[in-house]
Structures are given as C-alpha cells and as structure tokens.
Amino acid sequence: MENPGQLANRFKEVLLNGKWIASTNFKDQLTNVSWEQATTKIGSLNTIAALAFHINYYISGILDVFEGGELVIRDKYSFDMPEIKSKEDWDHLLKDIWTNAEHFANHVENMTEEKLEDFFVKEEYGTYRRSIEGVIEHSYYHLGQISLIKKMIREKVLEEK
C-alpha cells in the first residue's frame, strides 16, 4: 500500500507533471489548447473543456471535504460547466484546475496513514484512500479522452485546409 507521499505523487503525475503512465498529463495536454479548440464539439463526445471542468469539479468537491467542509458535489452536476466564451474564461478554468490540484496533492501528502483508512464522509463511499485512488483513475480515463479528442480536432483542421 502506498504511503501518503506516494499517493500524492501519483495524483500529481496525472494532473501536473507526470509522464510515466501515459507519457503525458493534464497540464501537458491542456496548456497548448486554445479556448476554441477546448470548446470544439466532435460528434457526440464531450468537449475538452467539459472534460477538464468535470475532473476539476470532483477535485474541488473532495478538496472541500479535506478542508473541513461538506461533500456537496453531485454526479448529475459534474458537467454543468459555465460557457467558455474567451481565452480569459479558458485560462481561468485552467488556473483553477492547477491550483486545486496543487492543494489537493498537498492535503494528500500531509495525511496520516490512519486518515487514509478513515471513511470518506460516510461508510458507503469507502475510505479516503479509495476516494483518492478513484480520482486518480478517473483522471487517467478522461486524460485518454482528451488526448484522442485533441487528435481528432487537429485532423479536422487539417481536412478543412
């Protein structure tokens, strides 16, 4: 079982700076995406912006609990993203993701082993460890989608030229 520092590093790998599992991470994938690309719809797929918002929604909601608040997030609202209409809107979302990811990782790193094994909010949600691992796995799932959607957008642009 991973200690808090190792778990925090796994989280940072997928969001901020890792290349070991997928040869990329959220920051790497999203930093060079324009707001127009982020909001481009490909068929029935979610947009890059919607997926980024979705991951940040969960990180932010769990972070609230880490900081002593209530768990108020609900799955049915996890894609209720405010419209991205400009570079500033997109930059704000990205800044929010990176800030929340840093704070989330810091909280995990400073947790005790005992806290990791405590129930997260209520028993049916499992432990803190399970919730953190769930965020990591969920993030990798959507990172793969973002990578593929970026490729599809680039191909679409090339076809239009």
Q: What is the pLDDT of residues 6-40, one digit of tens each?
A: 999 999 999 999 888 889 999 999 999 999 999 99
Taking the C-alpha atoms of residue 40 and residue 51, their distance in angstroms, rounded to an integer, is 12
Which residue from 77, 60, 71 is spatially nearest to 120, judged by alpha carbons? Answer: 71
Q: pLDDT tens digits for the chain (161 residues)?
A: 789 999 999 999 999 998 888 899 999 999 999 999 999 999 999 999 999 999 999 999 999 999 999 999 999 999 999 999 999 999 999 999 999 999 999 999 999 999 999 999 999 999 999 999 999 999 999 999 999 999 999 887 777 76
Entry pTM: 0.95
What separation in angstroms does the CA of 47 have from each of 1, 8, 56, 113? 35, 28, 14, 37
Coil/strand/helix, residue 144: helix
